[in-house]
Amino acid sequence: MTIRVKLTAMFALLFVVLAGVLVTTAYLFVAGTGAGPAQMAERQQALQDALAEQGIEVPSSPGPQDPAGQWGDEGVPPQGPQDDAVSRTLAAIDEAARAKVLEDLLTRSLLAFAISAVVAVGLAWWLAGRVLRPVDEIARAASTLSERTLDRRLPEGGPDDEFGRLRHAFNGMLARLESAFDSRQRFAADASHELRTPLAVLRASADNVLSSPRPSRQARELAAEVEAQVARADSLMTSLLTLARADDVIHTRERLDLADVAAEVVSAASPRATEAGVEIDLDIADAPMEGDPVLVERLLANLLDNALRYNVPQSGWVRCRVWSEGARACAEVSNSGPAVDADEIPVLFERFSRGHQRSEVAGHGLGLPIVARVAEVHAGTVEAVPGERGGLSIRVSFPLAEAR
């Protein structure tokens, strides 16, 4: 039950209680009001005079104030109603009229109460919406932070009430988040620059040793080990920076075709596949989407790299398909390789976790986690299933871009 529904129910309940009290009070007030003895005597005398003018004489009987049936000493008739047929008829008429009035009052009051209750519920719903509109604006702004920029601010014009202070606090939180994300991005850029410099120096030194005319066997082995570790550190740093970029809010989205990205990635990996004796089968069709080109390229590159890395020693193959299906742009990379247990697949998408069946192959366990994270920030999905004859088939899908 939403806050708006709760407020509407509270306002409607308050109206029902107050209206019920008002209707009950009016009914009891009218029901307790009747003609007094003096008014009944006047009505009786007026009726007798009217009948007398028509030649109809109505005999009087002793009243409660004149037991002897005589006038008073001063010749003044009694003030109370007479106990005769006329008085009884007038009393019956008065009682029937009052019952009719009470019945009409109750019927019309209930009808007016029902109509007013319906109107009150509608007004309460509208009023609750007006009161909660600032909260809805804040909720909509917060829901777009994962896909939009953090530089948005809510307008702070208006009265300095609770909602005004809430807007101000929300804008302050956005400013702090923007500053934190900017600091994180600057740190990633600075760390990338600072770490790549010593790695480049180490790699150059190892290359110099390996390219020297007659290096010793120990020096050559050490240089080869240094070069391998530098390459591994560089790959690990690239993966971590990719994760950091994916974890941050995507500031810009570009229109791109998943088929073009797949063709470029396959073209770049073809020499490595030829060297490893793995055949790459590329089947692509137009699949336009919107996203970060660097991250999408990294996603497909990681899928293809894993497909080549974890493959059979001889006569291996990798299939890369791109197509559009419904409102989704899809890409699938499958390969021949060692069998993978279905229970082990969720572990492969955890950071720095490679599974016990893949420990013999070099890697750092960030390939598939990067794929999952990049798909997540693009509102995509990832599905992985074991191949029938070994290997793994991984499918990713993204929302299809609207046609221009």
pLDDT digits (tens, 9 = 90+) for 306-361: 999 888 888 899 999 999 998 999 999 999 988 888 888 888 888 766 655 554 55
Phi and psi at 123, nearest 5°, equal -65, -40
Give the per-residue pLDDT at 60. 56
Say yes or no to pLDDT of 148 above 70.
Answer: no
Say yes or no to pLDDT of 292 above 90.
Answer: no
Exposure of 176 in the CB half-sphere (CA atoms within 13 A) = 6
pLDDT digits (tens, 9 = 90+) for 9-32: 888 888 888 888 888 888 788 777
pTM: 0.54
| Average pLDDT value for residue range 259-270 | 94
| Tokens (6 digits) for 81 | 């109603």
If you ran DSSP here, which 8-state letter would residue 308 be given?
H
CB 347 within 8 A of CB 386: no
Say yes or no to pLDDT of 67 above 70.
Answer: no
The share of the chain scoring above pLDDT 90, in percent, equals 19
pLDDT band at 66 (very low <50, low <70, confident <90, very high): very low
Average pLDDT in the chain: 79
Give the per-residue pLDDT at 246. 66
d(CA 295, CA 309): 20
Say yes or no to pLDDT of 156 above 70.
Answer: yes
Other beta carbons within 10 Å of 368: 24
| Average pLDDT value for residue range 296-308 | 91
The helix (run of H) or strand (run of E) holding residue 141 is helix 85-143
Say yes or no to pLDDT of 75 above 50.
Answer: no
Query: What's at 305, amino acid-wise?
Result: D
Say yes or no to pLDDT of 175 above 80.
Answer: yes
Give the per-residue pLDDT at 48. 67
Give the per-residue pLDDT at 398. 94
Give the per-residue pLDDT at 318. 95
> Which of 103-112, 244-253, 262-271, 306-315 reaches the highest mean pLDDT?
262-271
CB 293 within 8 A of CB 272: no
Phi and psi at 389, nearest 5°, equal -115, 30
d(CA 268, CA 187): 30
The DSSP code sequence of 323-382 is EEETTEEEEEEEE--S---GGGHHHHTSTT---GGGTTS---S-HHHHHHHHHHHTT-EE
d(CA 274, CA 385): 26
| Tokens (6 digits) for 92 | 């019956």
Task: Tell how strand 288-291 and strand 254-257 pair up.
Answer: antiparallel
CB 289 within 8 A of CB 398: yes
Angle at alpha carbon of residue 371, lines to 203 and 355, rounded to 5°: 80
d(CA 346, CA 110): 65
Give the per-residue pLDDT at 82. 52
Which range (119-123, 125-129, 249-253, 377-381) has the least confidence?
249-253
pLDDT band at 65 (very low <50, low <70, confident <90, very high): very low
- Return the residue matching tokens 């039950």: 1
If you ran DSSP here, which 8-state letter would residue 390 be given?
B
The more confidently predicted of residues 220 and 159 is 220
Give the per-residue pLDDT at 85. 66
pLDDT band at 69 (very low <50, low <70, confident <90, very high): very low
pLDDT digits (tens, 9 = 90+) for 350-395: 876 665 555 455 556 678 888 998 898 888 999 999 988 888 999 9
CB 247 within 8 A of CB 181: no
Which of 25, 35, 12 lies closest to 109 in space, CA to CA? Answer: 25
Q: Which residues contact 141 (CB under 8 A, 6 or more apart)?
A: 152, 154, 170
Phi and psi at 320, nearest 5°, equal -125, 115
